[in-house]
């Protein structure tokens, strides 16, 4: 038997729980569907220093739990379930999870984005055996060892700095000759005695026996191959939006949900917030901002029904 609620939010990260807080406070029955735990990717970050109000920083998992508790204090409901299918074109919208079926007047999509993979042979089979995508999650397994970080953006720079504090050596490998990371990272990186840069190179293969033993790199210009030894590889080459459930139902922009600053999508009653939507900056604070904005337009939409 289907259960009807006014607002269903897919994803329990900072965007989803901010939207839940505002919608619940506005008096709407609000359900959050999250397949893992509160906080989303934020929960995998041990130290968040750029979210206002925490002068000493805050643990991402702790912040996620606080956001959940705050939204639930006003009546929001959390179901830790995986969403199997959605029909966003239906009236009302239909959502099927591994435990229940729901209909909703309005749906807020806050499904975030996942780490992009290198796409080299045996990468998937080596996850947990030397290949990782989250330095703060898995870095301590490589304490005192040599690791490689692949990428040149803010995530790669932050991962390299974090790992430099616990690993014997960090090798930062980038396909260009300069980093794309913000300037705030550059001086600390250049000051690391145990950090080595390898420029204009891509990963040709991950070397391994039972675990990762190194990388084979290819020079972008000469095509020359070189092998380096390392105990772990941290991949930080971008993200892929989690939009597979919505393909064919919503307008997408390079895979992200096309939604402007109102968070409205191409379908009435469907809103997109956080890392999954087209936007200039993807941070915890901009995700939370999206959640607050969405609630305003959800309220406007529900009033029109």
Q: Is 138 a catalytic residue?
A: yes
The verdict on whether omega for the bond into residue 92 sits within 30 degrees of 0, i.e. cis, is yes
- Which member of 87, 134, 204, 219 is catalytic? 134
Q: What number of CA atoms fall less than 13 Å from residue 222's CA on the CB side?
A: 8
Helix (H) or strand (E) holding 295: helix 284-304
- The answer to whether residues 31 and 17 touch, using CB atoms and an 8 Å cutoff, is no
Parallel/antiparallel/unpaired status of strands 212-219 and 270-272: unpaired
- The answer to whether residues 185 and 192 touch, using CB atoms and an 8 Å cutoff, is no
> SS3 of 289, please?
helix
CA distance 118 to 9: 31
- Which member of 137, 192, 204, 219 is catalytic? 137
Q: Is 167 a catalytic residue?
A: no
- Which member of 105, 138, 275, 290 is catalytic? 138
Task: Detail the DSSP E strand segments found in the chain.
Answer: 3-10, 30-33, 77-79, 83-87, 93-97, 101-109, 113-115, 131-132, 146-150, 169-173, 195-198, 201-208, 212-219, 225-229, 232-235, 239-241, 252-253, 256-257, 270-272
Q: Is 137 a catalytic residue?
A: yes
Q: Which residues are catalytic?
A: 134, 137-138
């Amino acid at each position: 038997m289907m259960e009807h609620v006014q607002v269903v939010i897919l994803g329990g990260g900072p965007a989803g729980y901010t939207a839940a807080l505002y919608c619940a406070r506005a008096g709407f029955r609000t359900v959050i569907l999250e397949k893992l735990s509160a906080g989303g990717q934020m929960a995998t970050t041990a130290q968040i220093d750029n979210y206002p109000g925490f002068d000493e920083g805050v643990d991402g998992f702790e912040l996620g739990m606080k956001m959940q508790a705050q939204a639930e204090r006003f009546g929001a409901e959390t179901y830790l379930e995986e969403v199997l299918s959605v029909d966003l074109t239906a009236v009302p919208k239909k959502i099927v999870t591994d435990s229940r079926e729901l209909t909703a007047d309005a749906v807020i999509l806050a499904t975030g984005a996942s780490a992009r993979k290198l796409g080299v042979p045996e990468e998937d089979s080596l996850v947990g055996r030397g290949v990782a995508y989250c330095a703060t999650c898995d870095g301590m397994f490589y304490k005192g060892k040599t690791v490689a970080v692949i990428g040149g953006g803010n995530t790669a720079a932050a991962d390299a700095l974090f790992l430099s504090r616990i690993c014997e050596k960090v090798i930062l490998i980038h396909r260009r000759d300069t980093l794309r990371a913000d300037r705030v990272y550059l001086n600390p990186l250049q000051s690391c005695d145990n950090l080595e840069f390898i420029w204009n190179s891509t990963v040709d293969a991950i070397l391994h026996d039972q675990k990762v033993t190194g990388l084979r790199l290819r020079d972008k210009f000469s095509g020359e191959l070189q092998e380096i030894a390392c105990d772990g590889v941290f991949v930080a080459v971008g993200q892929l939006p989690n939009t597979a459930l919505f393909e064919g139902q919503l307008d997408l922009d390079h895979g992200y949900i096309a939604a402007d600053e109102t968070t409205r999508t191409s379908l009435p009653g469907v809103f997109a917030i956080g890392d999954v939507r087209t936007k200039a900056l993807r941070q915890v604070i901009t995700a939370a901002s999206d959640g607050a904005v969405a609630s305003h337009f959800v309220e406007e939409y529900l009033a029109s029904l």
